[in-house]
Amino acid sequence: MEFKLSLTGSFGKIEMIGQFWEHGDFAAFEKAIEDCLGQGLTIAVVDLSRLTFVSSQGLGRLVRAYSKMREAGGELALLSPLGSVRETIEIAGFADFMNIYNSEAELAEALG
Amino acid sequence: MAPKPAAANGAFVTEDSIDYRVLYEEERARCQEATRSRAGLETANARLEAALAASQKELRQAQTRLDKARAEIDEEMEIAKSVQAGLLPGELPEFVNLKTADTYIPTGKVGGDLYDITITPTQKVAILIFDVSGHGIPAALIAAMAKMLFAHYIEKLESPSVVFSEVNKRLCSFINTDHYLTAFLGILDPIRNRMVYARAGHVRPLVYRAATGEVDTLGAKGFFIGHSALIDIAEYTEESVTLSPGDKVLFYTDGLTEGSNASHDFYGVDRLRGAVERNGALEPQDFLDAVLEDQTKFRNGHPLRDDFSMLCIETSSAEWVLRESGFTADDQPRMLMASTYVDIDHVCSVVLRGLDDNGYSDADIKRAKICVFEMLMNAIEHGNRNDPAKRAVVLYTISPDELKVSVVDEGEGFDYEHLPNPLAPENLLKDHGRGVFIIREYMDEVQFNSKGNRMLVVKRHHGGADHGI
């Protein structure tokens, strides 16, 4: 899969493109979270609009990243999960503890 | 004494008198003639030498051209041999209850032997062996063409006799020479160990029966393939054989039995049968090595006239696979295997293609993908502990009404009855423990065997619109 990391503005945005299940991708995602924190950005937004598949382990890595950001006094939010990815995230109960934004506009409004 | 005419000048001399003038003229004429002749000879010689030199030059040029052409032919033959070698399977696929081995013995010439073992779209095992008549580049070209045609039709059709008919029609339209090929094609159901087969003038494979040590032959009627003179009369019958655990089938080409000794006696089918009887209990590769050794010993150094191939399969019981899987033989499940992450991708794509073919919606296919993926991931990571030598056996059936998938791993099993609920507050932030939960959410039925190393899921399909995604 492909990651696109942009660290501009008040938050770091990590775009996931493709399928999120391989161990190599988990490491790349963790590195992106580290980079956000390293830049002093306490909010990480994971853009899932172009993610087509996520495994249960991939969900686990999102939760782990969420905990890491929280421990650093920050936040991790999800942006625009679609289709089966959205359904899986909902089944896993992420909406109970994680902010999930349906669009860039919704995100911008929430983050001010 | 009467005078008699003398030489050309008409002077008359007596026998006692000599006309020196005449003699001189005669001598001079001879000298002139000789001089002319010598000059002519020298000219002729010069011409001959020039012609010889020209011929020698031409010969040298022709030799150079010939050497170049021969080098090009040699190079092309090497390429042809390499192409032919590339058409032989590098590594035979691995099966749950089927052992395989192969041997190809070249003679240095480009031959027309080819064989292959492939998995059909319905997860049966296709075993093909064929032999193109003659040698050299034409045989290799026809072999390559035939291999492509066989691969195409085996993928589309699962009846060996129909495959032969189609390949015959196509090849007859391509081959305008006297070349033809003999072939044997078996399609083995690995669950039932039943092989349906057809034979196109090929030597009859031998079956070693493990229980009795007896050797049977597999025969079915059928003409050669690809000979245009036979296109209208070419018919292929189809027969079947049921194999028991430990049985071996030896497929080969006639170069094996036509290997001869210094007395020009063929090794022959009877000697081959004897070697199969004596060595049938060996492991497949050892078995082929033993047969080869027997033939080599018989030839006693006499060179081979023809290359040959041997292919062996040995079946074992699929009973344990079925017993653990939750399927019965009557369900006629298809079987796949996974040992690594790469295999997961393949299994998912095969199952999902089956769903698509049966009219499942895009949303249902995506849901099924998550489930099959999670089942395999559990089996490989948690069951087999990422040991690539261990296998996760996937059995599945797909109908327009139902998807049923079973994954059995070689692990110790896990306690499926006490899986924590990932939605419980204390588990929400854990980074594991969601796989089976997601499967249960998506599937209509989820069952485990008592050991806990098999998961069986069922998804009933109601057709209609996508539900939500």
Hey, where are the domains in chain A?
2-106
Return residue ranges of chain B for CATH 3.30.565.10.
Answer: 325-460
Number of A–B residue contacts, CB under 8 Å: 67
CB B112 within 8 A of CB B140: yes
Any A CB within 8 A of B432 CB:
yes
- The model's confidence at residue B179, banded by pLDDT at 50, 70 and 90, is confident
The 10 Å Cβ neighbour count of residue B464 is 8
B366 and A83 within 8 Å at the Cβ level: the answer is yes
The alpha-carbon gap from A97 to the nearest alpha carbon of chain B, in Å, equals 8
B216 vs B175: which has the higher pLDDT: B216
ipTM (interface pTM) = 0.94
pLDDT exceeds cutoff 70 at B391: yes
- A92 contacts B468? CB cut-off 8 A: no
Residues B1-23 as b/e (b if ≥16 CB within 10 A, e otherwise) read eeeeebeeeeeebeeeeebeebe
* B435 CB within 8 Å of a chain A CB: yes
Cβ-defined contact of B438 to A92 (cutoff 8 Å): yes
Backbone Cα Rg of chain A: 13
Q: Does B367 touch chain A (CB under 8 A)?
A: yes
- In contact, B287 and B251? CB cutoff 8 Å: no
Q: What is the torsional sign of CA B433, B439, B444, B449?
A: negative
Chain centroid to Cα B192, Å, comes to: 25
The mean pLDDT value of chain A amounts to: 93
Which residue in B341, B369, B374 is closest to A56 by CB distance? B374
Q: Which of A19, A95, A6 is nearest to A50 (CA)?
A: A19
Query: What pLDDT is attached to residue A29?
Result: 96
pLDDT exceeds cutoff 70 at A51: yes
B337 lies within 8 A of chain A by CB: no
**B:375-404 residues touching chain A, CB 8 A cutoff:** 377
Is the model's pLDDT at B423 over the cut of 50?
Answer: yes
B84 and B144 in contact (C-beta within 8 Å)? Answer: yes
User: Is residue B161 very low, low, confident or very high in pLDDT (cuts 50, 70, 90)?
Assistant: very high
pLDDT tens digits along B79-116: 777 777 777 777 777 777 789 999 999 876 777 889 99
Which range has the top average pLDDT, B162-166, B286-290, B335-339? B286-290
Place of tokens 């480009």: B110
Inter-residue contact A65 to A45 (CB < 8 Å):
no
Taking CA–CA distances from B371, the nearest residue in chain A reads A55
- The per-residue pLDDT of chain B, averaged, comes to 88
Q: Any chain A CB within 8 A of the CB of B342?
A: no
Could you give the 3-state DSSP secondary structure of residue A33?
Answer: helix
A52-56, A103-107, B15-19, B255-259: least confidently modelled range: B15-19
pLDDT at B77: 73
Superfamily the domain B325-460 falls into: Histidine kinase-like ATPase, C-terminal domain (3.30.565.10)
> CA-to-CA distance for B377 and B372, rounded, in angstroms?
8
| Confidence grade of residue B330 (pLDDT, cut at 50, 70, 90) | confident
| Of the options 3.30.70.1230, 2.30.110.10, 3.30.70.890, 3.60.40.10, the CATH number for the domain spanning B88-317 | 3.60.40.10
Q: What is the mean pLDDT of residues B297-304?
A: 93
| Residue intervals in chain B for CATH 3.60.40.10 | 88-317
Interface of A with B (CB under 8 A): 21-22, 53, 55-57, 59-61, 63-64, 66-67, 83-84, 86-88, 91-93, 96-97
pLDDT of residue B131: 93
Inspect the interface and report whether the beta carbons of A93 and B423 lie closer than 8 Å.
Answer: yes
Grade residue B7 by pLDDT with cuts at 50, 70 and 90: very low
Instruction: Give the CATH number of domain A2-106.
Output: 3.30.750.24
Cα R_g (chain B), whole angstroms: 39
Contacts of A22 in chain B (CB under 8 A): 341
- Please compute the mean of the pLDDT values over residues B327-348 and round it to a whole number: 89
The pLDDT confidence band at residue B394, using thresholds 50, 70 and 90, is: very high
Task: Map tokens 């580290």 to a residue.
Answer: A34
CB atoms within 10 A of CB B26: 15
β-pairing, B12-13 with B98-105? unpaired
What average pLDDT does this structure show over B301-307? 89
Q: Examine the pLDDT at B418 and tell me if it is beyond 60.
A: yes
pLDDT value of residue B101 = 94
Element (H, E) at B454: strand B454-460
φ/ψ of residue B348, rounded to 5? -60, -45
Residue A65 vs residue A1, higher pLDDT: A65
Q: For residue B436, which amino acid is it?
A: V
- State the pLDDT at residue B207: 97
